[in-house]
Structure 1
Amino acid sequence: MSLLQLLLGLLSTVADFAKSWSVVGSTLMIATAVALAYVWQPSLPEESYDFIYKYKFPAESQPKWSQKDPPVGVPPRPSVYNPNRPDLIHCYCPATGQYLCRVSASTKADIDTAVAKCQKAQEVWKATSFKQRKAVLKVFLEFLKKNQEEVVRIACRDSGKTMVDAALGEIMVTLEKLAWTMKYGERAMRPSSRSGPANLLIRYKAAEVVYEPLGVVLALVSWNYPLHNVLNPIVSSIFTGNGIIVKCSESVVWSSRYFVEMVQTCFTICGHSPDLVQLVCPWPNDADYLTSHPDISHTTFIGSKPVAHKVLAAAASSLMPVTVELGGKDAAVILDEHLGSWSNCDAIASVLMRGSFQSAGQNCIGIERIICEPKAYDSLSKVLAKRVPALRLGSSLDDDQNVDVGAMINDSRFEVLERMIADAVKNGAQLSCGGQRYRHPNHPVGSYFQPTLLVDVTPEMEIARNELFAPVMVLMKAENVDDAIRIANSTKFGLGGAVFGKRGSAATEKVVREMKTGNIAVNDFATFYVCQLPFGGVSDSGYGKFGGEEGLRGLCLAKSVCRDRFPGISTSIPPVVDYPLNSVKTAWEFVRAMNAAAYATSAKEFVMSLVQLVGNLK
């Protein structure tokens, strides 16, 4: 046998051996995956299975639901308020204009009752373990996973958004919130060990911070994400041992009732009081009573600046701390360096379109300004001018054709939007498409606004300075990186932002450092929110943080605890400074020498001060 034959035979044997081990390895991997899936399958209370698999969803959320004749007294045009029946809130589907139901507006007495029930339940809940709290979250997570489509339909029917937009903006972020809290929340809530004193003479003291529930907290949430905006504060509040009052918007009270009832069912299934979570929806004239309630310990407010002023004024009367999130005018800065060649920029155009048109642009961290360097601007303008006009409006629950963009919550701001767009065009902007309200042929009462693309927008224009909260894409040209940063920082808002450039480049990192915003995503859109980072803005976008570890701890009393570090070593008062003082002069010299020794910056200073200290002990 030749050497070549020997080598070929050896290689063949090795190959056969590798193949056999590949099969064995693959089999082991599959078996391991199956075993892990079995092990990781969450153990749920028996009572949860009917809830997860047999929950009865409302008829109104079903596809192609047809409205019956509305009750007597319903306003002829969609309106939550009827002056003839101020005790009722009227609920409509924004996409079709169909009447859903009427709900009693919460009164001051209703608020008192809700707070009292929540207080009573929280007294018991605060003593529960993290394992018990996770069990409640686990039931809801499994319910949400198994019933994504049905839950999404409820959110879509009440907000007008599309199924895909709701799956991303409602379901995914809520599942992430639940999963993250279950996996990492306990770690964030552990007592925090601190370094203790720098004073050399009292280093025998150990220091830590423990986090205790505040009691009953309040969340005033906006309508743009009816599921997530309700669930997000609920998850944080109950995990930290608090009870919570949720004040939803009148525009989405129909869906909010179902979402809160689902959470309350999880508590009942796990053997706890459902009263820990309460939903209220008063009219604005009674909202001050809620936000100044003496039995509420903390408020999280999501909304507009004018309403925030009223919330803060009311909260001040009871010294209630408030976390405020007020929306934004988020900029996406596109650097020429992001792509080596801008001949094909469809991928980044897709990200920008999702950032601008998701939920019909009604997204507090949506992209409201696209600021491009010259090469990026020229290429993106051409691509977006082709893609934006192709977007289709409608109701994904009711229309047979594909729908890209849903309805807005109502038509109350259409006139303002049309005026700002016309003003921008008058001052030099180019209207590529859209720009006005849209009368849908299938849903003439629906609240639709045309997907709009405006180019050549400048920072001085009103449309570049004020939050739109609408399906309007604005392109602005920057001369260079510094100019792009200047434009990005030219508004009074500072909630979120994005920069698209080379990973780790000087230009990219310069934008990250210098953009005045509370959150920023690099080469992406709004992922800082999904990452469960602390969320909040600066300037007119509010202050304080919710989300992440800081969000959990923000709903707690941070109690400082000081203990003796070693057994048998504790504080004792030297006779020289014990009351009554025998000699003020000696006591003073002792304390002066003690401070000098404790904070000495050299060995010589320490020794000299220590000698003086000992010399004045008597």
Structure 2
Amino acid sequence: MSTIKEEKMEKLNMKREYYQMVINGERVDALAKETFTTYNPATGEVLAQVAKASKDDVNRAVEAARNAFDNGKWRKFPVNKRSRVLNKIASIMRARFNELVELEVLNSGKSLSAAQGQVMQSIEDFEFYAAAIVGHRGEVNNLPYGFLNYTQKEPVGVCGQIIPWNYPMMMAAWKIAPAIAAGCSVVLKPASLTPLTAIVLTEICHEAGVPEGVVNVVTGPGASVGDAIVEHPGVDKVAFTGSTPIGKDIMGKASQTLKRLTLELGGKSPNIVFEDADIDAAVYGSIFGIFYNTGQSCEARSRLYVHENIYDQFMEKFVEKTQQLRLGNPMDPGTQVGSIISRGQLEVIDGYVKSAIEEGATVLTGGHEVTVEGFENGYWYAPTIITDVTHEMKVVKEEIFGPVVVVMKFSNEKEAIKLANDTEFGLGSAIWTKDQGTATRVAHQIQAGIVMVNCPFSAFPGTPFGGYKQSGFGRELCIETLDLYTETKSVLSYYGGKPLNPLGV
């Protein structure tokens, strides 16, 4: 059997009827020969069959990663050589950009523009870490009395990485790029709903020159495959992006072997529009903040607080522009909102909206499933705005993960901060104001890892991404991420001319 590296990626068709796992540089079936089906959520149609891993498959993936790490194939590469390989990964991705985007759209139902932006950021992630690792080194500390101390950064080892379905390609890049830049080996588990671009990215890593066993991908249910990774004694670190309840479960299981952890979990991010805000900018930014990626985003700004003096003016434009959003063929450049990932998720979203109505809230627009011409069997939900809510309602307290925003008034800065922080989450937040003093004061008091000021975007390569409170811990997408994939070794050396005799014997 030939390895992926020996094949020619430019001849490889990314769209297939069957996708295998990648273990030790080879495409392999599950040992039990089982498969599962992945779908196109925009049409509801079968997209492909995928190898369904078991615990035994996880064992062989971890063994491959462990062997690759222990024999030093990758971690002993000079940093500049590792950097060249990461840039080569990015180069191959750029050359096949349109194919990656198409596959991402087909497997996730997201709009073309959203997929294009996310695949481009995935490319830039590898380029960023190719540069960042060159300057990631230890320190030298001059000590008195003839002592010298220096530190060095060493890769943490085998990393189990579990990613969600909302950003399949981008989350795979966020995880793989810093891990292999640091010299680690990886066992990646993509979400069963959206495994395809993660599999292809793993193949691209090998084509670019990553040695066999350094990047492995296993596909299958989180309850079995994910747990097997988290509990495996051969895994040194777990990086997980997903819901808070699952993150808590992973933290408990990983504690049994004291694995290093990075957890990027749920959110219920506040979006505050002050009286002096640029109304148009705030409306456009608030629409993007909740309806981008069909609201299926951990940092979606799903709680909107508008100053009472501009509330009516803001809401008139906000509702009008929301109603103009175009749902349709995800591959059409004019489509602005894609499909929901699955029938199950659509029902969860609708259940939250119904609960809000039952508790006395008002739906200003949306609040129902949508039929899209030509995509009648897909999963579509109208962009939804809900008012007349209180902080005791489920729709305000819990993460919905869909195109649903709740809107409330506030009267002053102190109240806005109190409302924003009245949540168990602390991932993203947004502020709209023309006053720099207001922006700075509020940003310093909001309990969240990300604060967006007059800006709808939450992350670029090089900017830390992560949360406070039950939104997790650790930061991704930045130089500091490399510290989470390395150990710091302290070396203390004595160079004095006189022998040391501390006990005076």
* TM-score (normalizing by structure 1): 0.74
Shift in CA distance, 301/518, structure 1 to aligned 2, threshold 3 Å: same
Could you say which residue in structure 2 is the equivalent of 1:573? 501
After TM superposition, the structure 1 stretch with the greater mean CA deviation from structure 2, 496-505 or 91-100, is 496-505
Shift in CA distance, 559/549, structure 1 to aligned 2, threshold 3 Å: same
Shift in CA distance, 303/484, structure 1 to aligned 2, threshold 3 Å: same
Shift of 1:489: 0.7
1:143 and 2:92 aligned = yes
Equivalent residues of 2:53, 2:218 under 8 A apart:
yes
Could you say which residue in structure 2 is the equivalent of 1:486? 418
SS in 1 for 2:319: helix
CA RMSD for the aligned pairs? 2.5
Q: How does 1:209-358 map to 2 (within 5 A)?
A: 209-267=151-209, 272-283=210-221, 284-339=223-278, 345-358=279-292
Q: Distance in 1 between matches of 2:62 and 2:273?
A: 48
After TM superposition, the structure 1 stretch with the greater mean CA deviation from structure 2, 486-495 or 118-127, is 118-127
Equivalent residues of 2:125, 2:461 under 8 A apart:
no
1:441 and 2:379 aligned = no
Q: Deviations over 1:344-403 (max 9, x none)?
A: x32332222111111111111121112122234332201111111111222323x6x832
Q: Distance in 2 between matches of 1:221 and 1:371?
A: 31
Shift of 1:452: 0.9
Shift in CA distance, 137/318, structure 1 to aligned 2, threshold 3 Å: same
Q: Distance in 2 between matches of 1:440 and 1:494?
A: 35
Shift of 1:203: 5.6
1:516 and 2:447 aligned = yes
Amino acid at match of 2:125: K
Larger radius of gyration: 1
Amino acid at match of 1:512: A
Equivalent residues of 2:54, 2:224 under 8 A apart:
no
Q: Distance in 1 between matches of 2:294 and 2:34?
A: 31
Equivalent residues of 2:14, 2:99 under 8 A apart:
no
Shift of 1:561: 2.1
Equivalent residues of 1:264, 1:275 under 8 A apart:
no
1:133 and 2:63 aligned = no
Q: Distance in 2 between matches of 1:162 and 1:286?
A: 30
SS in 1 for 2:375: coil
Could you say which residue in structure 2 is the equivalent of 1:501? 433
SS in 2 for 1:360: helix
Q: Distance in 1 between matches of 2:319 and 2:172?
A: 37
Could you say which residue in structure 1 is the equivalent of 2:125? 177
Equivalent residues of 2:426, 2:448 under 8 A apart:
yes
Shift of 1:539: 1.7
Could you say which residue in structure 2 is the equivalent of 1:383? 317
Could you say which residue in structure 2 is the equivalent of 1:596? none
Could you say which residue in structure 2 is the equivalent of 1:124? 73
Amino acid at match of 1:146: A
Equivalent residues of 1:264, 1:274 under 8 A apart:
yes
The match for 1:563 among 484, 493, 503 is: 493
The match for 1:554 among 474, 477, 484 is: 484
1:534 and 2:473 aligned = no
1:166 and 2:123 aligned = no
Could you say which residue in structure 2 is the equivalent of 1:432? 364
- Percent of pairs with identical residues: 26
Amino acid at match of 2:383: P
Shift of 1:173: 2.1
Shift of 1:167: 1.6
Shift of 1:486: 0.8
After TM superposition, the structure 1 stretch with the greater mean CA deviation from structure 2, 480-489 or 281-290, is 281-290
Q: Deviations over 1:562-613 (max 9, x none)?
A: 234xx53567235xx424xxxxxxxxxxxxxxxxxxxxxxxxxxxxxxxxxx
Shift in CA distance, 414/561, structure 1 to aligned 2, threshold 3 Å: same
Q: Distance in 2 between matches of 1:570 and 1:166?
A: 65
Shift of 1:159: 0.5
Where structure 1 has 5 or more consecutive residues not aligned to the other structure, the ranges are 1-46, 61-67, 71-84, 197-201, 340-344, 580-618
Shift in CA distance, 379/304, structure 1 to aligned 2, threshold 3 Å: same
Q: Distance in 2 between matches of 1:114 and 1:288?
A: 14
* Residues matched between the structures, number: 485
Shift of 1:191: 1.1
Shift of 1:266: 1.3
Q: Deviations over 1:205-232 (max 9, x none)?
A: 3333211012211111111111111122
Shift of 1:87: 3.3
Q: Distance in 1 between matches of 2:499 and 2:44?
A: 72
Shift in CA distance, 548/402, structure 1 to aligned 2, threshold 3 Å: closer
Q: Distance in 2 between matches of 1:125 and 1:429?
A: 56
Equivalent residues of 1:89, 1:104 under 8 A apart:
yes
Q: Distance in 2 between matches of 1:195 and 1:352?
A: 52
Could you say which residue in structure 1 is the equivalent of 2:46? 99
Equivalent residues of 1:520, 1:526 under 8 A apart:
no
Structure 1 or 2: larger strand share? Answer: 2
Amino acid at match of 2:201: F
Shift of 1:93: 0.4
SS in 2 for 1:131: helix
1:192 and 2:122 aligned = no
The match for 2:326 among 392, 397, 403 is: 392
Equivalent residues of 2:362, 2:386 under 8 A apart:
yes
Equivalent residues of 1:304, 1:326 under 8 A apart:
yes
Q: Distance in 1 between matches of 2:128 and 2:215?
A: 21
Shift of 1:503: 5.3
Q: Distance in 2 between matches of 1:386 and 1:48?
A: 55
Shift of 1:177: 1.5
Equivalent residues of 2:44, 2:378 under 8 A apart:
yes
Q: Distance in 2 between matches of 1:356 and 1:265?
A: 37
Equivalent residues of 1:163, 1:396 under 8 A apart:
yes
Amino acid at match of 2:504: D
Structure 1 or 2: larger helix share? Answer: 1
Could you say which residue in structure 2 is the equivalent of 1:591? none
Q: Distance in 2 between matches of 1:239 and 1:232?
A: 11
Q: Distance in 1 between matches of 2:273 and 2:323?
A: 22
Q: How does 1:407-426 map to 2 (within 5 A)?
A: 407-426=339-358
Could you say which residue in structure 2 is the equivalent of 1:58? 14
Equivalent residues of 1:496, 1:518 under 8 A apart:
yes
Shift of 1:519: 1.9
